[in-house]
Structure 1
Amino acid sequence: MPTGPLRLLVVAQLVNTLGTGLWMVTSALYLTRFAGLTIAQTGAALTVAALVCLLASVPMGYLADRAGARGVLVAGLVAQAVGTAALVLVDSVWTYLLVAVPLAIADAAQRGAKGAVIAVAVPADRRVHTRAYLRSVTNVGIAAGSALAGVALAVDTRPAFMALILADALTYLIAAALLSRLAPVPRTAKRPEGPRLIALRDRPFLAFVALDGLLSTHFGVFEVALPLWIAHRTDAPHWLIAVVFLTNTTVVVLLQVRAARGTDHPTGAARAARRAGLALFAACALYALSGHAHHTVTITLLVVGALTHVVGELWHSASGWGISFGLAPPDAQGQFQGAYAIGMQFGQMLAPLVVTTLALGWGGPGWLLLGATFALAGAAMPPVVAWALRNRTFHPEPVAA
């Protein structure tokens, strides 16, 4: 078990993501069956909340830098606890938006603040390791929460769903209490001149964010396109969907920390992004081939494709952490972490439409086009990071040998 600040971060992450798993599994059913929203309203409202979170990411990161990252992180978690508990009062799309919009802002605040806390509380050569460890823990927490959510699904009553919502709210409060024990993060001084939101004017960094957003659409490939592809465009049994999801979760838990080795400096992280793009291209090619295979060959191609995909996912995640930490000025980690989050959020927002259109609509050629996009985005990362490093007014902290 890790010690010091990492222990607090890990335990808080485990508790909080346990609640995330509870809500992820039950949210759509609760909103459409018990909160008065139609399916169309649910989709639209979730999109609005995602946009608000995206737009608030950099300003909330700036707030974390100026007000103290630990305080903003704890306040954001407490606000999420209050907002989550208020979900039991939702009875229409409008009351849901009244809750969901502030929740999205609080989520943006705690995300940017968490990155800034890690940047200060953890030595430079352990930041990516910490992120990797937390991602492994995240998968454990979400899996456990998802399993517990099955109780509410089995009981299938409004009180059962409300109990899970309140349990989710409690996890935010527990996480906030744990993280309040971290040492305070000093506030950064206001820059004497120039713009405040410097991350939005840093063109090399924004180019990295855009490329990372393109690579992030692979999450939509795995979560949306691949299950539909297996069910409707191959002769593989439907239970294979559960197998590939379980495989993905298990590999992330076991290997994310190992995959993050060598990505503490932006240069090494950029090389990992290039490898990620190639692995994702190979996965897409295997998925494409599975649509023309039969029986055992189909299953083999899909399983090998899923394993290749998760390797690309591990490298992609580690590369983003290493680059975003390394390129951020020491006094602006919060807003640069917020800007980094924009790419992933935007990529995941676009992913369902893009990946289903290409993979399900175009079939094999669509899969190959998706794969080529991943490969090109990964290949572009090293020159973009080199451009960014040439434009730094500081040098990323050296990595311990």
Structure 2
Amino acid sequence: MGILPAPGPTRVLAVATLINTVGRGIWLTASALFLTRAVGLTVTEVGIGLTVTALVSLVASSPMGYLADRYGPRGIQIAATLAAAGFTAALVTVRSLPAFLLVGAASALADAANRGARGALIAGVVPVADRVRTRAYLRSVTNVGISVGAVVAGLGIAADTRQAYVALVLADATTFLLAALVLTRLAPVPPVPAPTSGPRLLALRDRPFLVFTLLDGLMSMHFSLLNIALPLWIAGHTAAPRWLISALMLVNTAMVVMFQVRASRGTESITGAAAASRRAGVAIAAACALFAVSGSVPTAVAIALLFAGALAHVVGELWHSAAGWGISFGLAPEHAHGQYQGTYAMGMQVGSMLAPVVVTTLAVGWGLPGWLVLGVLFATLGALVPPVSRWAERHRPVPTVEVAAAR
């Protein structure tokens, strides 16, 4: 797969992803300032609102993925993307916490539907052997889009007026509309029959898969090392200059864009993906050790250690992401990709909710011992994935399904 995929489903998905993630970059960069300076919410109210929306999205992930299986992922994703456009635009009318909670909860439902449908859509339009590679390519595209969106958001932030922040939010909403329009170029993916027996939300009864999801979700806490723990560590506990924080972010983004597809090689099988997860745990543990010893050395040495740690971390990140896609696609029954991808996303959400407290308490609060504890934690989580994935393979659910599409 080159810089631009050959004409077909992957190219359509890439274009839609690029457009939409420009909007995501705008929102991630400007949302806190929009909600506090333009809407007038307090920092505490913003925290409450974001926590509530995260919980709504967490609870809705599997059911929304089930809808994608039953009614076709293309239609559900287009509908969810259009709904997200409307709810995002509605944010400009928000003036209070209750209103933010209402719009935020609705947006969270659309986001949950979008995630589950996206995984099922890839499974429906991309050959089995190319699914992980496609996810890897789309992640590279995502990093490009978010970076562009962050630059666009910077223009509005520099103006620092309500009109500028409103313009950024409406630009984000527009990217949803454009992405939905692009997705209409995909051929419809027919709904798959529902099981004739057993639970409808099969993924939530698949214990081995749930254990894998939890392990993978806890492993995903490593993403917060770079954007939460490391900036605080560099600024408050090392002799390194603060500009290094941005430099390390840039290194991470560039590495993901350039090497995510290459890092996914060999993770198409569950066995290969599980091995990559184990390697990821070791690499992230090495990064934690390098970060740990950067706090008590001269400036030049600290810079070298922090760069080395960032490189080790991004290698682990690349392997961890590819491993998750390979295992989550590999363990899902063909009739249930939507709900399995929705359930898989729940693990990442749990990790993102726990990460700020865990990484700041250990890395920043405990210092060197805390970094080492984090390293042991990530290495252990990675080492547990291969036996859990073998357990999951032995107990893969194979329900009887109807011949006719269910409703």
Q: From 234, 246, 250, give the equivalent of 1:246.
A: 250
> Which runs of 4 or more aligned residues in structure 1 lie more than 6 Å from their structure 2 counterparts after TM superposition?
none
Aligned length: 394
Q: Deviations over 1:269-325 (max 9, x none)?
A: 000000000000000000000012111000000000001000000000000000000
Residue 225 of structure 1 corresponds to which residue in structure 2?
229
Contact 1:8 1:179 in 2 (8 A): yes
Cα distance between partner residues in 2 of 1:189 and 1:328 = 15
Question: Residue type matched to 1:232 in 2?
Answer: G
1:20-79 Cα distance to aligned partner (Å, 9 max, x none) = 111111100010111121001101110110111011000000010001110000000000
Query: For residues 169-188 of structure 1, what are the structure 2 equivalents within 5 Å?
Result: 169-188=173-192
What does 1:379-390 align with in structure 2 at a 5 Å threshold?
Answer: 379-390=383-394
1:65 maps to which of 69, 76, 80: 69
Pairing 1:241-320 to 2, within 5 Å after superposition: 241-320=245-324
- Letter of the aligned partner of 2:333 in structure 1? P
Structure-2 separation of matches of 1:293 and 1:61: 49
Q: Is the 8 A contact 1:129 1:257 kept in 2?
A: yes
> Where does 1:118-267 land on structure 2 (aligned, <5 Å)?
118-267=122-271
8 A contact 1:283–1:306 mirrored in 2: yes
Contact kept, 8 Å, 2:21 with 2:146, in 1: the verdict is yes
Alignment partner of 1:235: what SS? coil
Look up the equivalent residue of 1:102 and give its one-letter code: A
Following the alignment from structure 2 to structure 1, what is the Cα–Cα distance between the partners of residues 397 and 176? 38
Q: Distance in 2 between matches of 1:393 and 1:245?
A: 41
1:89 match: 93
Does 2:362 match 1:364? no
Offset at residue 236 of structure 1 (A): 0.5
Instruction: Provide the secondary structure at the position in 1 that maps to 2:12.
Output: helix
Q: Answer with 184-193 or 135-144: which moved more.
A: 184-193
Q: How do 1:99-118 and structure 2 match up within 5 A?
A: 99-118=103-122
1:16 to 20, 24, 32: 20
Residue of structure 1 in register with 2:48 after alignment:
44
- Contact in 2 for aligned 1:15/1:171 (Cα 8 Å): yes
What are the equivalent positions in structure 2 for 1:333-352 lying under 5 Å apart?
Answer: 333-352=337-356
2:253 and 2:197 map into 1 onto residues whose CA distance is 46
The 2-side partners of 1:45 and 1:161 are apart by: 18
Query: Any idea what the Cα deviations from partners look like across 1:111-138, whole Å, max 9, x if unmatched?
Result: 0000000011000110000000000000
Distance in structure 1 (CA, Å) of the matches to 2:363 and 2:64 = 36
In structure 1, C-alpha distance between the alignment counterparts of 2:221 and 2:315, rounded to whole Å: 15
Normalization by structure 2: what TM-score?
0.96
Q: C-alpha displacement at 1:363, in angstroms?
A: 0.5
Distance 1:237 1:169 in 2: 37
Amino acid at match of 1:23: W
The amino acid across from 2:76 in the alignment is: V
Q: What residue in structure 1 maps to residue 404 of structure 2? A: none
Using the alignment, how far apart are the partners of 2:396 and 2:156 within structure 1? 51
Distance 1:103 1:55 in 2: 13
Q: 1:393 to 1:50 in 2, by over 3 A?
A: closer
How far is the alpha carbon of 1:362 from its aligned partner?
A: 0.6
Q: Secondary structure at the residue paired with 1:384?
A: helix
* CA–CA separation in structure 2 for the residues paired with 1:190 and 1:263: 29
Q: Deviations over 1:82-115 (max 9, x none)?
A: 0000010010111111100010000000100000
Output the amino acid matched with 1:33: R
Q: Which runs of 5+ in 2 are unaligned?
A: 399-407
CA contact (8 A) 1:275 1:312 kept: yes
Whether the 8 Å CA contact 1:72–1:110 is kept in 2: the answer is yes
Distance 1:321 1:367 in 2: 27
Q: RMSD between aligned alpha carbons?
A: 0.7
Structure 2 match to 1:397: none
- Are the counterparts in 2 of residues 36 and 93 from structure 1 also a CA contact under 8 Å? no
